[in-house]
Amino acid sequence: MEERELIIQFKEGDRNAFSKLYDIYFPKVFRFTQLYIISSIELADVVQEVFVKLWEKREQLDETKSIEGYLFIVTRNLIFNAARKSFNESAFKMTVLKASEDESYNLEEEIEASELKSYIDSLIQMLPPRRQEIFRLSREKQLTNKQIAELCGIGEKAVERQISFALKFLRENLPLFLLFCGVGHFKF
């Protein structure tokens, strides 16, 4: 079934359509959130809240567009809210520079989401070739650590270490203001 048909059914309150959309987008939302939230409890809360908000706003979705951009905006805002709760006041003031927390879906936000994805992809390309390969197998191909270890001829611990190093690199090189502030909205 095409995504457009799923969205139309979902907008009408079809729970099976929601389940299918959840199955399609859960891994992407989970992995993106995992880049910024370490606590497994907070991670689960944010991912769950993304899909609760999707259900609540289902009637406002445009079936002619992919919901991936919308999910990115909702996830970004929820990560921002989780970060705000855990940051001290001075760090919080820096992240509040975000121009707005409007969760409405529009073309400008979709473009910003696309630019951020491109930026993340460019960071991934900066990883050493083997680490990049392992990270992509994990995140894009959704292989387990065991499958990656077998495919690459290395141990599972080595796979875990490489993924950990890749995530650390992304966290260090993807400042929060890029996530929470649109490039056009942020002023020094």
- Are the C-beta atoms of 134 and 123 separated by less than 8 Å? no
The domain locations on the chain are 3-180
Confidence of residue 87 (pLDDT cuts 50, 70, 90): low
Q: Is the pLDDT of residue 23 over 90?
A: yes
pLDDT at 106: 56
Q: What are phi and psi of 3, to 5 degrees?
A: -60, -40
pLDDT at 124: 83
Mean pLDDT of 64-83: 85
Q: Is the pLDDT of residue 149 over 80?
A: yes
Burial class of residue 159, CB neighbours in 10 A (0-12, 13-18, 19+): buried
For a pLDDT cut of 70, what percent of the chain falls above it? 72
Q: What is the pTM of this model?
A: 0.49
